[in-house]
Structure 1
Amino acid sequence: CGLWWAEMLKAGDQYKEAASAYFRICGEEPLHAAVMLEQASYCFVLTKPAMLNKYGFHLVLSGDHYKNSDQVSHAIRTYRSAISVYESTTWSHIKDHVHFHIGRWYALVGMHDVAVRNMLKVLDCGNQSKATQEIFLRDFFEIVKKTGMKHEVVGLQLPFINMSSLQVIYEDHRTYASQASVLVQESIWQSLEDDIIPSLNSGKSNWLELQSKLLPKKYKESNVCVAGESVKVDLEFRNPLLISTSITNVSLICELTSNSDDLKVDKHPSSISLGTESSAEHNQGTTSGFSSFTLSEVDLTLGGGEKKLVRLTVTPSEEGILKIVGVRWRLSGSVVGVHYFQSAPGKAKTNKGRRKNKLTPTDALKFLVIKSLPRLLGSIDHLPEKLYAGDLRYLVLELKNKSEFPIKNLKMKISHPRFVNPGNHEEEVTTEFPDCLKKGHEQNFVKSETSSVFSFPKDVSLQGDKSLRWPLWLRAAIPGTISLYFTIYYEMENVSSIMKYRTLRMHYNLKVLPSLETSFEITPSPSKLQECLVRMDILNRANSDSFQIHQLSTVGCRWGISLLERVDTILPSKSLLPGQALSCHFMIKDNRRSATEEEKTMSIPPSQTDVKLFAQDDDEKLFDIVNSPLASFHESE
């Protein structure tokens, strides 16, 4: 009777009422209820306008009843029909429910490949509860394991890859001593290198213009890297789930072709697809028998909602065209995720400031690989991270070139000559520092060059295991956080027609703490024109350390000093404690005479330009401020 009534309503185009009739005659028997619910769903889609939400909902109910009746094929059929309703909606919970159960039911009928394809669509289920996510992931891995094969998934959303974080770091003419040097703005390095980089013809050129003149015409817009040196890619991975996820074997997908004409950008699918060998085929060089590049692999564990920035590298071993195609990773051993960079807004770190024509997104990931070149390695020994204002340190710059090809014509420029002054190779500190700076020690400290560019001796050449150790003097001129930048230029002979020179960039941060603060009050002598009375106030600004005041000196030979107080009364405690202040009075005398030229050039005896401020051993030597390195720093003030 119920069926007859429903058919009568359908014949009269009363589909909504017919759907209600089918719903009322659903019995307790699951198979009968499944058929009636399915018929009701078709009535809802035939109404005008179509009631699509009710259509999809009744199909899902029908599929559940089919499954309870062991009619798995019919359950899959009704659920698949329901997908068309929910695919374009934001109802993520019902979409995940439908795809998950279709995957499970396909696995029951032995169609594991199709089951995996449907289960993949629920892996990015961050909107679900933690318990539901654990069920989804557990069943997915069980189904994958039953297939007995590894699946490669293009567009796998676990983990999520933040393409806006993509950054490419490589070295061409410019090489870097540390990661801190890479992060420095390119404009800072260029301002240092303006006086070092050579020019072509008569006009002055920077390294960018030089490269465009040296490169073949069709490679003028290419990034250049060197065989044997790594290209680094930074990329952020995010776990969209609330549960921890383990990701292994994360590596880049690359191509290296020796055929220079093969410059076409590969096209890769952007939608989810399955395969077993596709990305592996990319990571093969054109040379048979061995790989033409080396890839790094990274393993990481992402907690719920956690983000991590991962650095991946590729090191080409031969010349050609290198293309970074994408990234691949392994999920639970059996699933290989693949993400292609065809739409990546790549940011090449060393290209900052370069004026190019319109680049395709893959241009930042394509490189012209040239033959192996010498690469200078540099470090500074004993460089402190923290020191007090006025502190003077003896440092050593160590340079190495492990290549068999020599480098020559080394030059160096330092951003802060007030802080760092290069010594001379003849300087060999035979006495323990700081005693080597005192008068009476026969140290061969030659006054440094006044030019902003320091040129190493012409006979300096580095190759193989040979290293160069060069003295540096560091003086903390002012308190604060100071950034020191070093650029070292060097040339290579008969190695490459594209790169004739390279630069090594070094960056260090120093934290300079306040120490002694001085102030002076100068009063002209009422009786002698060449003399002045000076009051010197000193305050210890340090938070915890005390200082001993050793001597008072004048720069140059013009002024002589005469103390007006006994030394033991100036600072009886011999140390100036934190926050403590002292005052000292003395006379200064102008020793210049407007007489003969010979008298003008006479040096004042040391006793008049240097005065002890301590009452200790009379044999204690005073520091020599007339010669390098102290004199060089005074000239920089």
Structure 2
Amino acid sequence: VRDDYKNDKALLHCAHASESIALCLYMMKGSPADIHHALDTTAAIYARLQVASPTLSLVRHAARTAILSSEIFSHMLSEHMDAASAALIRGSSATDPKLSGLGICSAVFLERAAYCDLQARNPKFRKYGFRMVMAGHVYSLLGYEPHAARCYSCARAVYANSRWHHVDDHITGTLAKQLVGLALPQQAIALLLTRIGSGRHAKGQQLTLLAEFYDLVSEYLQDHSAVGISNFHVMESGGQSAKVLLIKALVIPAIHDPSVVVFAPANALALDDVAASQPGRDKLDWKQQLEYLLMKEERIEHVATTSAQSSWLDLSVSSAAALQLPLLLRGGKKHKHATDPSPVYMVGEAVYVEFTVKNPLAVEVVLKQLHLFGSVQGSSNSSSSCSTSIDFPVSQDEMGTAVVTVDRQDIALPPHAEAVVRLSVVPHDVGVVRIQGVRWALNAHVHGEHTFDLPGMLLQDSLESRATRARAPNTTLVCDIQPAMPWLGVSFTRDGNPLPTPLTCLEGEVLTLDLHVANKGSYALSHLTLVCSSWLYVVEGAAAGGDDDDAVVTSRVVGASGHVTTLPTLTLNPNESKSFKVHCSSRTLGPQHVRFLFRYANTDNSTRRVVPVEFEIEVLKGLTVSHAIHPSYNDITEYVLALSVRRKCNMVHDGDNEDDLSLGFVYLM
């Protein structure tokens, strides 16, 4: 019958017959090649007839053939998915979107063809994304914005985080505009942020994107009744009912979580000096050695005074095992199960948090009011009524008293620049401060928030923990605030002037330095102890302001080596300072570092802290004077006195190089 229709030039009836033949072959499980040939013949006839005389009936026939072909090929083996996709594409081209009633068939066929490409034996992801974009475009032309947004969202999942940046930018920008039209401004803002935060655009384009982003946020804040997402919060700011949008995980700027360091002040100097010091100062090798020396000398003192059978000489040469001391591991090594001691945080002293930020954009970014946020919980024996958890920076207890003081900074990041930011919080009461992250203001309407994510140590206690790579909780950002401590400030001077760098002295020369100690805290300071193994030194006592013997601050040597000196009668009240004379001498030639360690405590000696002090010296060899007396050859009543002065400077780093200076003097007597 098909051939008869073809010979009679009845092409429409011939197409109907070919379509029926394909359907019969499919139901009888015929040859896929014959089915494919029959359907292709039908589609070709409809296409030829539509070019000759386009009518609505031909569009309906072509659409029916496309649906039938796709269903037949999709229910066969997976290698025929390409044929199903091709049939749908032909059907979409035959259905003009401008035709009423059947215009939407073009978009539906394109979307169905995309799914056929995805279900093929070798999935074609990029072809799927491309055809979803085409379907979304047709939906948008027909006014079906929700379907258009759905297609663009599916396409974006293919091109996001790929090398096809321009395609991703086009899809993201188009989808953001559609979401605005669908009354979903927060989702549109989130899409714009992903495009801005990529940092792959030129400077002018980034400025345009930022302006569009700020305008969209400003419009949203005027009426924020739309459905929101969890990362966006509208807050009140200022006293004029101004509203700002707080965006969690804002990508401007990028914050590197592994660079987060939390530390307490490294010494008891002024706050400016503390802020300029580097974190990790407590891990210096020489400081650990002096602490170990202090512990050893105190152990020798204790054993010698409590046991009558132990002599000072024997104890001074005793091993660490004999003194029951832990071994000091050199070279920064420690036991595999050992952990660093947790830092000590005190009331009224700053807790510093340091981290690295990076500007991913090609334009300058100004961050205003950069500050930490978290929560604080007072202890049961706290002086305030802060018994429950209170969030900061808006942190006041029930009495309206500030619980913590938060440091706020404004920084400007040049294009593609990195910077190290150091922020601080000062607790005013005993408790637990939990630092969660950092917040900042990007402009008047946009505020950002970043929550620190610090992974804990991998657990090795069981096979299950190793298999699941379970981690212990990281307590770096949890600060246990202890009661207030005194605040020791230490400085050395000579004749009222600061020490030069380096300080020059002669071998065996006795220098007299002025030691100034001050309590800059709010509690009394006592139990001051000095440790120094670089010099031979003696601390001269000073008057404490009274006339009796108890008013004199005396020094006492602890241990057997003379390296440790304590001032047992010294007590410094808040804002009180004292000066001592330190007589010191060096027996080692050449440049060297003199290191002191000052340990102090509160009045009841319950909590102790240390302050390291270091300065450079250069020790020169002293003068050697020799003389000789001989009778004068000219006059028997005269004698000749010959003096020879020699100075030898032997540097440690110069090896055997010596600077000899000999002077001769002759006197007649």
TM-score of the pair, normalised by structure 1 = 0.62
- Contact 1:252/1:328, CA 8 A, preserved across alignment: yes
Quote the Cα distance in structure 1 between the aligned partners of 2:420 and 2:67. Answer: 61
Task: Read off the aligned partner of 2:606 and give its amino acid letter.
Answer: K
Instruction: Give secondary structure in 2 for the equivalent of 1:8.
Output: helix
Structure 2 equivalent of residue 218 of structure 1: none
Aligned counterparts of 2:248 and 2:431: Cα–Cα separation in 1: 27
Residues 83 and 135 of structure 1, relative CA distance in 2, 3 Å threshold: same
- The one-character-per-residue Cα deviations of 1:37-74 (angstroms, maximum 9, x if unpaired) are 56323213124505432232133244456657776555
Q: Is the 8 A contact 2:262 2:354 kept in 1?
A: yes
Q: What does 1:376-525 align with in structure 2 at a 5 Å threshold? A: 376-381=488-493, 382-386=498-502, 390=506, 395-403=513-521, 405-417=523-535, 421=537, 423-425=539-541, 451-472=561-582, 478-480=589-591, 482-494=592-604, 500-510=606-616
Q: Distance in 1 between matches of 2:132 and 2:487?
A: 68
- Deviation (angstroms), 1:311: 1.0
| Ranges in structure 1 where 5+ consecutive residues have no aligned partner | 207-220, 262-277, 347-357, 428-445, 519-550, 555-559, 572-578, 587-612, 616-637
Percent of paired sites with the same residue: 19
- 1:562–1:81 distance in 2 versus 1, CA, 3 Å: same
Structure 2: give runs of 5+ residues left out of the alignment. 1-45, 48-58, 71-82, 222-242, 304-322, 327-340, 382-388, 458-469, 544-554, 630-639, 648-656
2:284 and 2:646 mapped to 1: Cα distance?
51
Q: Deviations over 1:276-324 (max 9, x none)?
A: xx99678535544133111111221222221111111111111112212
How many angstroms does 1:325 deviate by?
A: 1.9
Aligned to 1:584: 662
Q: Which of 125, 142, 158 is the equivalent residue of 1:85?
A: 158
Does 1:42 pair with 2:112?
A: yes
Cα distance in 2 between the residues matched to 1:310 and 1:465: 31
Q: CA deviation at 1:104?
A: 3.3
Report the counterpart of residue 306 of structure 1 in structure 2.
Answer: 417
- Partners of 1:485 and 1:302 in 2: CA distance: 39
Residues 539 and 582 in structure 2, CA contact (< 8 A), matched pair in contact too: yes
Provide the rounded CA distance (Å) in 1 between the counterparts of 2:517 and 2:112.
80
For the residues of structure 2 that align with 1:55 and 1:425, how far apart are their CA atoms? 87
Distance 1:43 1:70, change over 3 A: closer
Change (3 A) 1:473 1:165: farther
Of 429, 450, 454, the residue aligned with 1:318 is 429
Query: Aligned ranges for residues 69-84 of structure 1 at < 5 Å?
Result: 73=146, 75-84=148-157
Larger RCO: 1 or 2 (CA < 8 Å, sep 6+): 1
Q: How far apart in 1 are the matches of 2:666 and 2:106?
A: 107
* 1:194-221 alpha-carbon deviations (Å, 9 max, x no partner): 3445679988789xxxxxxxxxxxxxx9
Aligned mates of 1:305, 1:294 — CA distance in 2: 32
Matched, 1:365 2:477: yes
Tell me what 2:351 maps to. Answer: 231
In 1, Cα distance between equivalents of 2:390 and 2:197: 22
The aligned runs of 1:264-275 (5 Å cut-off) are: none
Q: Secondary structure at the match of 1:76?
A: helix
Q: Do structure 1's residue 12 and structure 2's residue 72 form an aligned pair?
A: no
Instruction: Please say if residues 485 and 522 of structure 2, whose CA atoms lie closer than 8 Å, have aligned partners that are also in contact.
Output: no
2:208 to 135, 152, 163: 135
Judged with a 3 Å threshold, the aligned counterparts in structure 2 of structure 1 residues 224 and 182 are, in CA distance, closer, same or farther, namely: closer
Matches within 5 A, 1:474-623: 478-480=589-591, 482-494=592-604, 500-510=606-616, 552-553=623-624, 561-562=627-628, 583-584=661-662
Asked if structure 2 preserves the Cα contact closer than 8 Å seen for 1:56 and 1:82, the reply is yes
* SS of match in other structure, 1:471: strand
Aligned to 2:245: 151
Cα–Cα, structure 1 residues 88 and 490, in superposed 2: closer, same or farther, change >3 Å?
closer
- Match of 2:476, SS state, is helix
Question: Which letter does structure 2 place at the counterpart of 1:45?
Answer: Y
* Residue number in structure 1 paired with 2:550: none
Q: What secondary structure does 1:248 align onto?
A: strand
Q: Which amino acid aligns with 1:505?
A: V
Q: Which residue of 2 aligns with 1:292?
A: 403
Q: Whose radius of gyration is greater, 1 or 2? A: 2
Match of 1:544 in 2: none
The C-alpha deviation readout for 1:70-110, integer Å capped at 9, x for no partner, is 76555434322323434575645433433333223333555
Equivalences, count = 477
TM-score of the two chains, using structure 2 as the length reference:
0.60
Label 1:404 to 1:413 Cα distance change in 2 as closer, same or farther (>3 A). Answer: same
Counterparts of 1:581 and 1:371 in 2: how far apart (Å)?
Answer: 57
More helix by share: 2
Alignment of 1:342-353 (within 5 A): 342-344=453-455
Whole-Å separation in 1 of the counterparts to 2:262 and 2:610? 19
Provide Cα deviations, 1:108-152, integer angstroms capped at 9, x if missing partner.
Answer: 555322322322322321334444433332321221122224222
Taking a change above 3 Å as real, the CA distance of residues 90 and 456 of structure 1, as seen in their structure-2 partners, is same
For the pair 1:251 / 2:371, whether they are aligned, the reply is: yes
RMSD: 4.7
Answering whether residue 233 of structure 2 is matched by residue 122 of structure 1, we say no
